[in-house]
Chain A
Amino acid sequence: MTLRRQPLLMLAVAAAGVALPFVIPDYRAQIAMLWALVIMAQTWDITGGQTGYNSFGNILFFGVGMYASVVVQRDVGLDYFPGLVLGMVVGAGIAAALAVLLGSMILRMRGHYFAIATLGLGIAAGEIAGGWDYLGAGSGLSPPLFPAPPGTANLFFAYLFFGLAALVFVLLAALYRTRFGLALNAIRDNEDKAEAMGLHTGVYKVTAWTMAAFVLGLVGGAMGNMLGFVDPRDTAFAGATFGVWMVLMAILGGKGTLWGPVLGAVIFHITQELLWTHLLGWQRVALGVIIVGIVVFFPQGILGWARTRWPARHEPREQGSERA
């Protein structure tokens, strides 16, 4: 994807985002989920692809946002929409604060130690939520009912997630062009040199992770309401679904690129919706096979493969090109 064609592509995606809920109204829930997955993959890629810090535990922020939002809606006593907005913002705030706190401790670790530490955090959060009565312990919580006929809820969430995905995309596109984005890439390519050049790598890493956490908190808050059920291990801190999906989608599309996570999420979600219902309980087995298959045979992702296939079409200045 050259820079020249990007505006056209963005326009096409935007048109699809606006029109889809009305073109195929039966699939509004899946459309909403699609955009949510796009955001998850995009935010994972901020640290995973751009900075080279692969997190297994970004689901932590998603789950925190989900729980915080439902608790705010339960305890503050606002109407549905103000409550939802406040809940999402509070959840995102808590997630971001957690990212600053935890990030300043664990982002000092290099590479795989960071990955394993985040894995531990994500699972620990699920275990704690599963034992904490204030959060409904193992049986979880139920968000308030959407105050309108059932079909409109999915329409609302489809546009909410689409808007958020578009906003995140535009902001990230701008961000990756700035000095900040270049600093993240520098950390990925050679952290010691980046530090020797005078970059305060710690600040960059924590900021990047905090941005991801904030957005994931928002997504989690809305997702809890869309699914209508918050459960410690299967929806909120769902390491075996959303948690690993976001890594997988970003890698499938091509990590460290702007469009890769979007592409990966779209392909993954469509494949999943088409095939999953035929697998009857074997879905997660299939997920394991897919992870292994992609990681072993296709680790550079679709855009990474395209770049090696047609190198001429990719200008050297394009964002996130892997030159390591």
Chain B
Amino acid sequence: MAANVALLGEAPFLILQLLLDGLMIGAIFAVAAYGMALVWGVMNVINVVQGEFVMLGGFITYQLTLWGVSPLWGVPVAAIVLYFIGASLHHVVIRRVADRDMFISLLATFGLSILLQQLMNQIWGGDVRTAQSGLGTWFLLDYTVTVSQMKVAACGGAIAIGGVLILFLKRSRLGQAIRATAQNPRAARILGIDTNRVFAATYGINAALCGAAGALVVMAYSVHPYIGLPYTVRSFMIVIVAGLGNLPGVIVAGLGLGAAENFAGFILGVQYQVAFVFILLVVILVIRSSLLQRRRQFLK
């Protein structure tokens, strides 16, 4: 561990390399987190299936390549398929738990996450899958820093997807209805917004967002049936740190998490990278609760 830290000091290009890689995957984390914040803010549901949606998008894209279709089609195809999966899951499960105790929705989405994870394990097997995009690699700074073009493309794709979503929420009729429902569902109902449809659309849009992100993940990185929960937890952490409805915060926290994770993976060893994610989650929650505690004492 100390040796790895020392190595970083001796070879600054490694720092650059880890930082670049981390920021690029961080953009994808930010997209998934933005979707989670959307569902959380609008429906008051912490969506534990988030990571499975990402994974499903990846597997759909992988399946397309098996059929000989370019994985680039995976982005729209996964988004559309996931939209309908999300909307139907909302119809069958989510709408029945959304207005109950948050633990119920947490457990229900956790059950969905196990369900989807094991379903994908049955369909595509437990191996690590990746879709070849055919893009090459750039070598920078005298071949010390490598940049996979696909990772850059994935990062750009994530930014584009996020941009489209934001425009959609700001400009479109449905987007305005979603934001109105998030602010005050009762008032929105009074003004003639069919909030149940808004909820279904919100959940579907979140799933589509994750599906598109998953298509980018499978091209630039890889997917296997057990990456879901880490993605969920990353999204959750980002939302906790940034707060609901704080878009710049989500972007900064997402990129920061990507970079932090990459450095931790390098320093602690790759086998502890996932452990780092989950420990970080607990640490963030503890810090959050002690900050709240302090604020509470000031109120006395």
Contacts and interface: CB of A to CB of B under 8 A. Distances in A.
Interface of A: 54, 56, 105-106, 108-109, 111-113, 115-117, 119-121, 123-124, 127-128, 130-131, 137, 240, 244, 247, 251, 281-282, 284-285, 287-292, 295-297, 299
B178 to A, nearest CB: 23
Contacts of B119: 285, 288
A296 B103 contact: no
A135 to B, nearest CB: 13
A37 to B, nearest CB: 18
Contacts, number: 121
Contact of A296 (B97, B110, B122, B274): B97
A121 B279 CA distance: 7
Contacts of B112: 288, 292
A118 to B, nearest CB: 9
B107 interface: yes
A124 B275 contact: yes
B264 to A, nearest CB: 12
A289 B112 CA distance: 7
Contact of B103 (A109, A112, A121): A112
Given A106-B289, A112-B46, A131-B271, A296 B115 contact: no
B118 interface: yes
Q: How large is the interface on B (under 10, 10 to 19, 20 to 34, 35 or more residues)?
A: 35 or more
B243 interface: no
Given A121-B278, A123-B229, A131-B269, A285 B118 contact: yes
Contacts of B110: 56, 119, 244, 291
Contact of B108 (A56, A124, A295): A295
Contacts of B107: 54, 247, 251, 291, 295
The 3 closest A-B pairs by CB, nearest first: A288-B115, A291-B111, A127-B275
B115 A127 contact: no
B165 interface: no
Given A120-B278, A288-B113, A291-B110, 16 more contacts: A54-B107, A105-B286, A108-B289, A108-B293, A109-B289, A112-B46, A112-B106, A116-B281, A124-B275, A128-B272, A131-B269, A240-B114, A244-B114, A281-B122, A290-B111, A291-B114
